[in-house]
């Protein structure tokens, strides 16, 4: 087996021809029963694999985990080895599944091997085959944030709204694992952002559950309601609180998500944090003015829930700010610093000029072009005429936005070079 792994073709030929070693001999040292051909495929030793196949090695011999040599070549991205193996296999052999139900296309997609997957597509491998969890290759590619694989599958006509056995779409998987590029690609291909899994979770809920803030921000920007609920009435704030996703929770509450929103059982995000012992999330709710006297359907306040779930002392520390949400702590520290270090008069003057310059709208310009008055706006289409027209505007009509003017209190002609006068 060492000769196979190292690509020692001469030794392998000698063993096959002179010692009459069977080409389907399996290694036993790792206990997985990999054949010589499987090891050659794993390490990309194409010449050794060719000799083994010429001598009758079975390209579909399975290992202890149910994988054939093609699977090993796909996992490690050995295109030449995969090409060689497919020449000795039938169309149905391409879709052989391992013990977890994954075929070669699954393994290529999961490992981001675009060229190998392209080969399998050309050979006619099935792209909608599912593993034991009902996942197609597109689900696995989305979970790994492999946009190149997704593009290849999209070009091959794969349905991006397909759901696995738990009801999750590729968008759910991308959001769950924080693949922002995959999320953007899937949304750009008109994936349905409102499809729910069997727990009635939206993709945005998956992002909240696993604290994937960038994905959640993007999905909300694309139209998902910040307070969208699943079947039991839990919104992203509840889900984030239950799972200790304080980054998501803090952002949601900072962006006007309802801190006292109740689910079907009357629980608020604070109740959920108390139930699961997530002190940082409980503190985050308290810092955002959560009503800690609000009763759920059982008549319990969040602190009552903490007692019943065995977390009374931890939640008491959160109320007393002994345990704090890290982001709330940073916010408090910044506010405290700003109070102790008010801006000087010079800093106030600079900030006032800056705010005036960048907050005020640019004026409309009426410029004569060939005898006709044309109203030009700063956001009008860029054109040669516009550029020429703006050059004709009197200097004094331009807003005072020059950097030296902020600090030296005088307008500097932008057509002149600013120079410091040396005494």
What are the tens digits of pLDDT across the range 34-86?
Answer: 788 888 899 998 998 998 898 888 999 998 899 999 999 999 999 999 999 99
Only one residue has tokens 């959920």, namely 272
Final residue before a domain boundary, out of 325, 342, 359: 342
Summarize pLDDT for 168-210 with one digit per residue, the tens. Answer: 999 999 999 999 999 999 999 999 999 999 999 999 999 999 9
User: Does residue 366 fall inside a structural domain?
Assistant: no
User: Are 154 and 174 contained in the same domain?
Assistant: yes
The pLDDT > 90 percentage for the chain reads 66
DSSP H helical ranges for 165-262: 170-176, 180-188, 203-209, 213-221, 236-242, 246-254
Final residue before a domain boundary, out of 191, 214, 237: 214
Crossing angle for the helix pair 79-86 and 114-122, nearest 10 degrees? 20
DSSP H helical ranges for 55-144: 69-76, 79-86, 104-110, 114-122, 137-143
Please state, in angstroms and as integers, the Cα–Cα distance from residue 171 to each residue in 119, 177, 193, 247, 252, following that order: 26, 10, 8, 21, 21
User: Are 150 and 170 contained in the same domain?
Assistant: yes
User: Are 15 and 61 contained in the same domain?
Assistant: yes
Total tally of structural domains belonging to the chain: 3
User: Are 50 and 76 contained in the same domain?
Assistant: yes
For residue 97 the two structure tokens come to 């599944």
- The rounded distance, in Å, linking the Cα atoms of 131 and 95 is 11
User: Are 202 and 230 contained in the same domain?
Assistant: no
pLDDT higher for 243 or 371?
243
Q: What is the CATH number of the domain that holds 326?
A: 1.25.40.20
User: Does residue 364 fall inside a structural domain?
Assistant: no
User: Are 112 and 145 contained in the same domain?
Assistant: no
For residue 169 the two structure tokens come to 């779409």
Final residue before a domain boundary, out of 342, 366, 398: 342
Residue 338, exposed/middle/buried by CB under 10 A (0-12, 13-18, 19+)?
Answer: exposed
pLDDT of residue 403 exceeding 90, the answer is no
Summarize pLDDT for 286-322 with one digit per residue, the tens. Answer: 999 999 999 999 999 999 999 999 999 999 999 999 9
Domain with 192, as residue range(s), is 127-214
31 dihedral zone (left: phi>0; alpha: psi -120 to 50; beta): left
Summarize pLDDT for 224-265 with one digit per residue, the tens. Answer: 999 999 999 999 999 999 999 999 999 999 999 999 999 999
Bridge partners of 376, per DSSP, are 365
- The rounded distance, in Å, linking the Cα atoms of 408 and 249 is 45
Bridge partners of 369, per DSSP, are 372
Residue 369 backbone dihedrals phi, psi, to 5 degrees? -125, 105
User: Does residue 315 fall inside a structural domain?
Assistant: yes
User: Are 34 and 135 contained in the same domain?
Assistant: no
User: Are 298 and 338 contained in the same domain?
Assistant: yes
User: Are 118 and 132 contained in the same domain?
Assistant: no
């Amino acid at each position: 087996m060492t000769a196979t792994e190292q690509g020692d073709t001469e030794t392998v030929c000698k063993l096959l021809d002179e010692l009459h070693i069977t080409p389907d001999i399996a290694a036993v040292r790792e206990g997985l029963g990999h054949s010589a051909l499987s090891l050659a495929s794993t390490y990309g030793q194409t010449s050794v694999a060719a000799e083994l196949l010429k001598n009758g090695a079975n390209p579909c011999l399975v290992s202890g985990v149910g994988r054939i040599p093609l699977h090993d070549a796909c996992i490690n991205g050995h295109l030449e080895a995969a090409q060689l193996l497919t020449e000795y296999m039938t169309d149905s052999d391409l879709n052989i599944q391992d013990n977890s139900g994954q075929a070669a296309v699954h393994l290529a997609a999961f490992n981001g091997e675009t060229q190998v997957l392209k080969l399998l597509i050309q050979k006619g491998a099935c792209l909608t085959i599912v593993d034991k969890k009902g996942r197609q290759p597109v689900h696995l590619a989305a979970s790994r944030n492999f946009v190149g694989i997704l593009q290849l599958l999209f070009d091959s006509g794969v349905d991006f709204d397909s759901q696995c056995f738990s009801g999750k779409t590729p968008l759910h998987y991308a959001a769950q694992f924080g693949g922002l590029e995959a999320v953007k690609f899937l949304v750009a291909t008109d994936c349905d952002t409102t499809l729910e899994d069997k727990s009635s979770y939206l993709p945005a809920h998956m992002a909240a559950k696993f604290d994937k803030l960038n994905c959640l921000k993007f999905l909300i920007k694309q139209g998902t309601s910040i307070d969208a609920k699943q079947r039991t009435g839990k919104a992203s704030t509840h889900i984030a609180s239950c799972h200790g996703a304080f980054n998501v929770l803090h952002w949601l509450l900072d962006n006007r998500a309802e801190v006292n929103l109740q689910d079907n059982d009357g629980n608020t995000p604070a109740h959920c944090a108390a139930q699961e012992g997530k002190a940082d999330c409980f503190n985050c709710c308290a810092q955002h003015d959560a009503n800690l006297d609000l009763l759920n359907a059982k008549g319990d306040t969040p602190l009552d829930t903490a007692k019943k779930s065995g977390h009374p002392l931890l939640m008491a520390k959160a109320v007393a700010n002994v345990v704090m949400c890290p982001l709330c702590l940073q916010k408090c520290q910044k506010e405290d610093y700003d109070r102790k270090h008010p801006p000087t008069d010079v800093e106030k003057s600079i900030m006032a000029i800056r705010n005036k310059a960048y907050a005020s709208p640019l004026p409309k310009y009426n410029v004569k072009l060939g005898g006709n008055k044309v109203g030009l706006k700063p956001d009008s289409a860029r054109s040669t005429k516009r550029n020429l027209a703006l050059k004709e505007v009197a200097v004094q009509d331009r807003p005072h936005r020059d950097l030296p003017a902020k600090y030296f209190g005088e307008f500097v002609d932008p057509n002149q070079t600013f120079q410091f006068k040396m005494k």
